[in-house]
Chain A
Amino acid sequence: MDENKYSILVKKHTPKEDVSKNVFKAFIGGGIMGLLGQGLIDIYSFLFNVSTKEAGIYMIVTLIFLGCLFTCLGWFDRLVNFFRCGLIIPITGFAHAMQSATLEYRREGLITGIGTCMFKLAGSVIAYGIISAYTFGVIRLIILGVLK
């Protein structure tokens, strides 16, 4: 049996992923996160009497903290597994990726373990995040410059 024929056989036995179900769960999960974030902004700006922009920063810090805490308590992987990209795309997913790598490598020491390995998953997000921020920043500058 050649490789092509075999790949057809494999395909026959490979189950389809429940894409629509997962998208729906991610939509609900992401929606809940958005609601939570907006709720936190409103509460912070009401309680501390700060601007919405400043309350947004408090909200992000809170969500990062909760993402890390729940990862350490061992709940977050189960939540992510259920809500899928609904929890991975928001800032909580980033916190979860860093925190889980930190937990994984803490036995290998502060420098060789945590320091080196904590960006194992999140490193690409940072690297390509900066590249795309820079690229789109330049594009915006050019377009706005032309329009002026």
Chain B
Amino acid sequence: MNFKYKNVYLNETALVAGPYEAKGPFGKYYDKTYNDFYFGTNSWEMAESKLITESVSILLNKAKLNKDDIDIHISSDLLNQLVASNYAAKDINIPFIGLYAACASSTLGIILASNMINSKQIKKAICTVSSHNASAEKQFRYPVEYGGPKRKTTTSTSTGGCAALISNSKSGIKIESGTIGRVVDMNIKDVYHMGAVMAPAAAETLYEHLKYHKRKPNYYDLILTGDLGIYGRGIFKDYLKEKYNIELNNYEDAGSILYGNNKKMYAGGSGPACLPLISYGYVFNKLKNKEYKKVLLIATGALHSVTMCNEKNSIPSIAHAISLEVI
């Protein structure tokens, strides 16, 4: 499903990041960083919630707005029952929608907010996402301190709280269009190879987007996928070429570059915060300075459930895209 927007703008962003992200090549773009995983709270779940609360208060400060100016807050994370978002929304106290699309949530939130703004139902929205390495490891994998060997294709959940202010008041960056993807399942059951799970979903969403708008990939200065990782990005490029005959030259994957060459992170970063940690910081700055004019963000999500995988089911995946343009 494709949407085109007339009067929706990305006004401001705020990023709070964890220790590994801060040490990475994009550390200087973060508004606040932490050296530990608790951030002064007493559990990882509350720490993740704090990432959202803090990113929203930094965002409101940067945009010089009050909570009352915001019509709606859309938030998502990876934890069961969206606890990080829900507990943050309690403190933020703006009318709230909790959203789950795994790591594809960041762009889905922006698409929903943009639709409401475009149809003049609301004026200003805040979209937040968070992920936390330790709370995600605890929920989806082994205890954090357990050192069982990991495979090379494993991605590491990024730690970050990311907030974006979307509104109808004009700024330099326009949200030009959005594409909602379909759930794709290529029968991959390997929970340590999420890039392989998500690559077809990303390819399908990109193809649908280009087809609907009758564009070529080089229409964009940058096409950025969410968290396919070092190996997933290769699968994505080959899959696109084989199935849709699309070749990409202006392509990057946020997960592959988030940690630079840090070998401890295996195939790179993942999590809902992975794409925004690059796109709300580095890419946002480049758009503001007009070094990039048109950027397509494709957030990719593996709809992974521990129970379903234990019951020998494959992992479905989804991808949603938004296009940002400088005006």
Indicate which residue in B144, B187, B235 contacts A104 across the interface (CB closer than 8 Å). B144
Taking a contact as CB atoms under 8 Å apart, the answer to whether A6 and B186 are in contact is: yes
A148 vs B159: C-alpha distance when bound (angstroms): 65
Residues from chain A with a CB closer than 8 A to the CB of B243 are 1
A81 sits at the interface (CB 8 A): yes
Which residues on A are within 8 Å of B, measured CB to CB? Answer: 1, 3, 6-7, 9-10, 12-15, 17, 22, 71-72, 74, 76-81, 84-85, 88, 96-97, 99-101, 103-105, 107, 120-121
Taking a contact as CB atoms under 8 Å apart, the answer to whether A76 and B149 are in contact is: no
Taking a contact as CB atoms under 8 Å apart, the answer to whether B235 and A9 are in contact is: yes
Interface of A is mostly: helix
**With A9-B239, A107-B42 in contact, is A14–B153 under 8 Å at CB?**
yes
Taking a contact as CB atoms under 8 Å apart, the answer to whether A14 and B147 are in contact is: no
B193 sits at the interface (CB 8 A): yes
Taking a contact as CB atoms under 8 Å apart, the answer to whether A10 and B149 are in contact is: no
Taking a contact as CB atoms under 8 Å apart, the answer to whether A101 and B196 are in contact is: no
B250 sits at the interface (CB 8 A): no
Taking a contact as CB atoms under 8 Å apart, the answer to whether A96 and B147 are in contact is: yes
Taking a contact as CB atoms under 8 Å apart, the answer to whether A104 and B138 are in contact is: yes
**With A1-B242, A10-B193 in contact, is A15–B146 under 8 Å at CB?**
no
Task: Enumerate the 8 nearest inter-chain pairs by beta-carbon distance, A residue then B residue, closest first.
Answer: A77-B147, A80-B147, A104-B143, A100-B145, A100-B146, A100-B143, A10-B196, A13-B234
Indicate which residue in B144, B147, B152, B232 contacts A81 across the interface (CB closer than 8 Å). B147
Which residues on B are within 8 Å of A, measured CB to CB? Answer: 42-43, 138, 142-153, 186-188, 193, 196, 200, 231-232, 234-235, 238-239, 242-243
Residues from chain B with a CB closer than 8 A to the CB of A107 are 42-43
Residues from chain B with a CB closer than 8 A to the CB of A88 are 148
Nearest B residue (CB) for A10: B196
Residues from chain B with a CB closer than 8 A to the CB of A101 are 143, 146
Residues from chain A with a CB closer than 8 A to the CB of B242 are 1, 9
A1 vs B151: C-alpha distance when bound (angstroms): 26
**With A103-B143, A121-B142 in contact, is A9–B231 under 8 Å at CB?**
no
Residues from chain A with a CB closer than 8 A to the CB of B149 are 22, 80-81, 84-85
Taking a contact as CB atoms under 8 Å apart, the answer to whether B186 and A3 are in contact is: yes
Known pairs A104-B138, A107-B43. 12 more at Cβ < 8 A? A1-B243, A6-B186, A7-B188, A9-B242, A13-B231, A15-B231, A71-B145, A77-B147, A88-B148, A96-B146, A103-B145, A121-B146
Residues from chain B with a CB closer than 8 A to the CB of A13 are 196, 231-232, 234-235, 238
Nearest A residue (CB) for B43: A107
Residues from chain A with a CB closer than 8 A to the CB of B153 are 14-15
A80 vs B42: C-alpha distance when bound (angstroms): 27
Residues from chain A with a CB closer than 8 A to the CB of B186 are 3, 6-7
Taking a contact as CB atoms under 8 Å apart, the answer to whether A79 and B147 are in contact is: yes
Taking a contact as CB atoms under 8 Å apart, the answer to whether A77 and B239 are in contact is: no
A78 vs B193: C-alpha distance when bound (angstroms): 22
Taking a contact as CB atoms under 8 Å apart, the answer to whether B145 and A15 are in contact is: no
Would you give the shortest CB distance from B169 to chain A, in whole angstroms?
A: 43
Residues from chain A with a CB closer than 8 A to the CB of B147 are 76-81, 96, 100
Nearest B residue (CB) for A101: B143
**With A1-B242, A13-B234, A17-B151 in contact, is A77–B187 under 8 Å at CB?**
no
Residues from chain A with a CB closer than 8 A to the CB of B152 are 15, 17
Residues from chain A with a CB closer than 8 A to the CB of B143 are 100-101, 103-105, 120-121
